[in-house]
Amino acid sequence: MIAAVSRYANSQNSVRQADLSANRPFHVQVEKLANTVFCPDGVSRWFYERAAGSYNVLLAREGTTPAKLRRLKEVIPVSRKVTKTDLAKFLSAWDQKPDRVSLGAQKNFEGFMQALENGQNPCSAEPDVDFYKKMIAKAILFKTAQKLIRPAFKAFQANVATYLVALLSHRLGDRLDLERIWLQQDLSSQLKQQMLGWAQVVNRILHESANGRMVSEWAKKVECWEVVRKGSYSQMPDGIPEMKLANFGVSSVPAGVVFGVGKTWPDEITL
C-alpha cells in the first residue's frame, strides 16, 4: 500500500516509477545475488544498482584512496553496472518483447513490473543463483549487440540491437548456452560475426517494413516484431561454441569423454 501511495502521489512530478520499485522483493534479491555471486575468476563481479546512484556511493565509501578506487573500478567496472531499467530491457528483449522495449526505458520497466506482479513474467519466481547467472549472460548478449551495432549503422541502433536480441531468443532459445556465456563473460568471435550478419537483415527489414514511417515509431508496434521474426535469415553455421549439442545439452564435448563402455570421442566435437 505504501508503494502505491508513493506512486500515485508522485504521478504529476519527475519521480520515476523505477525509483519507486527499488524495495520490491525481486530487486532486493537480485541486489543480494549481485553482491555475493562472483564472476568465474573469483574476484570481479557485477553491480546491480537497485537504488539510483548507489554505484557512485560505493565508489565514494570504499574508494577512499586512489589505489583503492582504482582497484574497486577494476573489480566492479562501470561496464558491469546494471540498473533496474537496464535489467528490464535485457530480460524483456530476451522474452521477445522488442516492441515494448522500444517504447522507452520507463514504459518498458512499468510493463515488466506489471507482468512480474501479475505472475505473467518468467522472472516471477524468486531469483536464485542460476537465474542470476543467466540474467548476466543476457546482459552480455545485449551489451555485445549494442557494441557491434553502434559503429555499423548510422541510425536506430537501439531498435536494431533490441530486435536482434529478441531474434536470437526466437531462433535459438534453449540451444544457446547461457551458462557458457556466463563462464566466458564474453561471446565468441564466431557468434559475434553471426549476430552482425543478422543485424544487417534486421536493419533492412525494419526500414523496408516501416513504409515511410519513422523506424523508431514503427518498432514500437507488435506488428513490427511479427514482420522481423518472419524474415529470412542465414542458418547458424557449425563451430559456434555457444551452441549446445542437441543430444547432450552441452556446448562442447572434450576429447576422451566416455559415451558408454569403452567408447570415447577421439577429438573434441563442437556445434
Walk along the chain (271 residues) and give the pLDDT tens digit of each residue.
Answer: 555 544 454 454 444 556 667 789 999 999 999 999 999 999 999 999 999 999 999 999 999 999 999 999 999 999 999 999 999 999 999 999 999 999 999 999 999 999 988 887 777 678 999 999 999 999 999 999 999 999 999 999 999 999 999 999 999 999 999 999 999 999 999 999 999 999 999 999 999 999 999 999 999 999 999 999 999 999 988 899 999 876 445 555 444 433 333 333 344 434 3
Length of the chain: 271
Amino acid in position 197: G
Extract the C-alpha cell encoding 108: 518498458
DSSP state letter for 243: B
Q: What's the pLDDT score for residue 88?
A: 97
Query: Quick one: 183 exposed, middle or buried, by C-beta within 10 A (0-12, 13-18, 19+)?
Result: middle
Specify the 3-state DSSP secondary structure of 187: coil
Whole-angstrom CA distances from 264 to 239, 248, 270 are 20, 14, 15
Q: Can you tell me the distance from the alpha carbon of 75 to that of 70, in angstroms, rounded to the nearest whole number?
A: 9
List phi, psi (to 5°) of 230: -90, 5
Backbone phi, psi, residue 269, to 5°: -110, 130
Sole residue written with cell 528490464:
88
State residue 29's pLDDT score.
Answer: 95
Residue 208's Cβ-side half-sphere holds a number of Cα atoms within 13 Å equal to: 9
Query: What whole-number distance in Å separates Cα of residue 13 and Cα of residue 3?
Result: 16
Contacts of 202 (CB under 8 A, 6+ apart): 160, 163, 164, 167, 228, 231
Alpha carbons 37 and 77: distance in angstroms, whole number: 15
The two beta strands, 81-83 and 269-270, are unpaired
Predicted local confidence at residue 256, as pLDDT: 41
Cell matching residue 67 = 589505489
- This prediction has a pTM of 0.84
pLDDT in the model for residue 17: 58
Task: Pick left, alpha or beta for residue 223 (phi over 0 → left; psi -120 to 50 → alpha; otherwise beta).
Answer: alpha
> Quick check: helix, strand or coil at residue 103?
coil
Instruction: Give the span between the Cα atoms of 9 and 3, in whole angstroms.
Output: 10
